[in-house]
Amino acid sequence: MTEKLNMILGGAQGSGLETTIQILSTAFASSGNGFLADREYFSNIKGRHSYAHAKISAEDIPRSIDSKIGLLGCMDAETLFTHFEDLVDGGYLIYDTSTEDKTQDSIKSIEDPLRERLEERFNEIGIDGTISSLVEYLKEEKNVEVIELDYPSILEDIQKEFDISSSQASRYVSSILIGAVTGLMGLEKEQVDKGIERKFEGKEKIAKQNIFLVEKVNEMVREEHGSPLKLEGAKLDEDELLMVNGNEIIGMGKITGGMRFQSYYPITPAADESFFIEQHASFEDEGSVLVFQTEDELAAITSCIGAALTGTRSATATSGPGFALMVEGLGWAGINEVPIVITYYQRGGPSTGQPTRGSQDDLMNVLYSSHGNFPRIVLVSGDHEEAFDDAVKAFNLAEKYQTPVIHLMDKFLANIVKTIPVPEIEGKKIDRGKLFDRKDYKRFADGPISERGFLGSEVMWYTGSEHDAEGNVSEDPENRIRMHEKRMKKLKIAGEEMDDRAIYFGPEEAENLIVGWGSVKGAILDAIDEMKEDFGYLHFRCFSPFPAKKVSSILEKSEVVIAVEHSYSPRVSEVVSLKTGYQIEKEVVKFTGRPIYRDELIDSLVNIIEGSDREVLKHGP
């Protein structure tokens, strides 16, 4: 019996893996376990290898995953080829015995470089490269316990049992995996059934058939292997948890924060957020959120600004390629002091890059894109809980300082499914800032922060050109100085309020300081929890305004400072140097687009302490 389990479940994109994860995660959570799963997939709709890499914990809500896994569940042969090396010694493997003669040659979806690496590796370990040879190797050399199931014959059984077609039955492979996993982990039948019923709400027949199949496999597995992976009694306090991915939690935050207009143009990994909001758009008689699919991102940002001018809390969501088309609109919002929120999910760049993989390489892009100078607020969130708070806060800041806010997220956060406590809603502050309140209104009078009027209340003017207090174009040099200073001062004022958004975790004075932001938070906190050395972590939740004083004082205290980031060369080091002059000299980076695993991070930090300046993390297929 253990307290935590890392597992990978894999299969071809579109073959039911998503269902497996949803049902299993529900089952884990409803039995009181914490759950976190990263999702990896190609830029492909069907056929390429995809997987969920999860951690289940009986004692807490996981913050990171390990590269080494205790359980590998394969829907197909490619999963085994791709992940066999990730299994810990003594781990568990679930696979389809009918694939035992398969070699990688027959699997077209495998990319060449992996193919070559496998070839080499099979030579090294001296196997012929069939699935069966691989399984044999794992058993012999890695003490892996193998759950051997003949998927086709199990499916044939159910086909007969319910008199369904073979093509329909083939969609039940996911339930074989569910049965095997829940068997090994000793989950209670009700909890699993719950998950299935929930998933197939309204489709009772399908639910029934799946339940039947899961139970059958579950029993088969228990009979032969028992439940060796049963987690020690779940200790989570909450009676109720939210199971959300990052897109969803942001959607919830935006709705809670009073957003009533969201424009978007579809793009990975942002589009699911808008889809989720649209699903929850209506408040019955109370109103609704208008979700607007535009013709492109130029229209997404500009329609968002238009909506904001009417006093509606408005936002848009995108990733790098879409943001590129929003830059001009961003500047317009800047000079016109329009409160809008751009939720930006980073993915691998440059250009189309790695559209379904994660990255943190866009920090300088959001801080400096656009010509001229204007205040912009850049919030960054490190996990789902922070993301919820920031999604609400973003609107408050946007309206208080009358300026665009970019909320920087990433693909990892967007897609990671996690159990979190239900957020406190009722206390959530809504601050609409200084509002219009008089005759003879001038939109840009009395800075730095002017009274904000809404189109539809009084007459006002806006223009992207430099303008006077009334919003009419002015080229006068003294007016220019006045208005430019007015705008820039707002960032200074915001900076005074927001100096707390650099957060230090760790002992009073740590010898080694890790600096990071965004989705690396979990792995870093877990790593420093485990490491014997004296480590602290400086976590940014905001880069503009930059909490320079606090950051400088923290940086000074440590001897070794290490930036950890998903980028080629840490952007956080660039910003810190730019703002404080402090040059962070060590770095752990990952730019394969795969998540940073707790264990590989620990290894790299050990190397850093031993003298390395730069560690490039590589794990994850």
Ligand X SMILES: Cc1ncc(C[n+]2csc(CCOP(=O)(O)OP(=O)(O)O)c2C)c(N)n1
191 touches a second copy (CB under 8 A): no
From the list a second copy, ligand SF4, other proteins, none, pick the one residue 478 interacts with, judged by a Cβ distance below 5 to 8 Å according to partner type. Answer: a second copy
Whether 517 contacts 476, CB under 8 Å: no
Distance of alpha carbon 501 from alpha carbon 380, whole angstroms = 10
Residue 612, both tokens: 């390395």
Site for ligand X in 327-386 (CB under 6 A): 352
Task: Pick the piece of the chain touching ligand X (CB under 6 A) from 53-61, 261-269, 306-314, 442-450.
Answer: 261-269
Return the residues of window 4-43 that contact other proteins according to CB under 8 A: 14, 26, 29-32, 42-43
Q: Which C-beta is closer to ligand X: that of 322 or that of 404?
A: 322
Owner of token pair 């579109």: 14
How near is the Cβ of 14 to ligand SF4 at its closest, in Å? 8
Q: How far apart are CA 602 and CA 559, in angstroms?
A: 18
Question: 230-269 mask for other proteins (x: CB under 8 A)?
Answer: ----x-x-xxxxxxx---x---x--xxxx-xx-x-xxxx-
Minimum CB separation from ligand X for residue 24, in Å?
A: 30
Of 76, 70, 64, nearest in space to 38 by CA: 64
Q: What is the largest CA-CA distance in the chain?
A: 86
Applying CB under 8 A, among 476, 497, 500, 529 the residue interacting with a second copy is 476
297 binds ligand X (CB under 6 A): yes
Nearest to residue 21, comparing CAs of 51, 59, 65, 41? 51
Binds 323, which of other proteins, a second copy, ligand SF4, none (CB < 5 to 8 A, cut-off by type)? a second copy
Q: Is 45 in the site for ligand SF4 (CB under 6 A)?
A: yes
427 interacts with other proteins by CB under 8 A: yes
Q: Tell me: does residue 298 bind ligand X (CB under 6 A).
A: no
Please return the burial class of 263, using the count of CB atoms within 10 Å of its CB with bins 0-12, 13-18 and 19+: buried
Contact string 155-174 vs a second copy (x = CB under 8 A): --------------------
Q: How far is the CB of 47 from ligand SF4 (least distance, A)?
A: 9
Nearer to other proteins, 321 or 516 (CB): 321
Task: Please state the closest distance from residue 236 (CB atom) to ligand X, in A.
Answer: 38
CB 11 within 8 A of CB 179: no
Closest to a second copy by CB, 283 vs 368, is 368
CA angle 588, 593, 594 (to 5 degrees): 80
Q: Is 271 in the site for other proteins (CB under 8 A)?
A: yes
In the numeric block, the tokens 């068997």 are attached to 183
The residue type at 524: I
Closest contact distance (angstroms) between CB of 55 and a second copy is 21
| CB closer to ligand X, 352 vs 569 | 352
Distance of CA 609 to the CA centre of its chain: 29
* Site membership for a second copy, residue 402 (CB under 8 A): no
From the CB of residue 473, how many other CB atoms can be counted at a distance below 10 Å? Answer: 11
Site for other proteins in 275-314 (CB under 8 A): 275, 278-290, 292-299, 302-314
322 counts as binding ligand X under rule CB under 6 A: yes
**How many residues sit close enough to a second copy to count as binding (CB under 8 A)?**
78
Q: Does 603 bind a second copy (CB under 8 A)?
A: no
574 contributes a contact to a second copy by CB under 8 A? yes
- Encode burial over 77-102: b for 16+ CB neighbours within 10 A, e otherwise: bbbbbbbbebbbeebbbbbbbbbbeb
Residue 565 and residue 548: Cα distance in Å, rounded?
20
Q: Which is nearer to other proteins, 2 or 109 (CB)?
A: 109
Q: What contacts 26, CB < 8 A, 6 or more positions away?
A: 194, 195, 198, 199, 243
Closer by beta carbon to other proteins, 196 or else 304: 304
For the sheet with 69-74, list strands across it.
145-149, 87-96, 69-74, 4-12, 49-57, 34-40, 417-421
DSSP string for residues in 79-106: HHHHHGGGEEEEEEEEEEGGGTT--GGG
Q: Identify the residue among 419, 450, 519, 544 touching other proteins (CB under 8 A).
A: 419
Site size toward other proteins (CB under 8 A) is 111
Q: Does 361 bind a second copy (CB under 8 A)?
A: yes
Which residues fall within 8 angstroms of residue 358, CB to CB, at 6 or more apart? 346, 347, 348, 410, 411, 412, 519, 566, 593, 594, 595
545 binds, among a second copy, ligand SF4, ligand X, none (CB under 5 to 8 A by kind): none
**Binding mask of the shown chain, residues 473 to 492, with x at each position contacting ligand SF4 by CB under 6 A:** --------------------
- Is 360 a binder of other proteins (CB under 8 A)? no
Query: For 126, which DSSP code?
Result: T
Residue 273 burial (CB count, 10 A) = 28
Residue 460, contacted partner among other proteins, ligand X, a second copy, none, CB below 5-8 A by kind: other proteins
Does residue number 13 form part of the binding site for ligand SF4 (CB under 6 A)?
A: no
Residue 498: closest CA among 450, 553, 546: 546
Least distance (Å) between residue 582 CB and other proteins: 38
Residue ranges in contact with ligand SF4 by CB under 6 A? 45-46
Residue ranges in contact with ligand X by CB under 6 A? 265-267, 297, 321-322, 325, 352
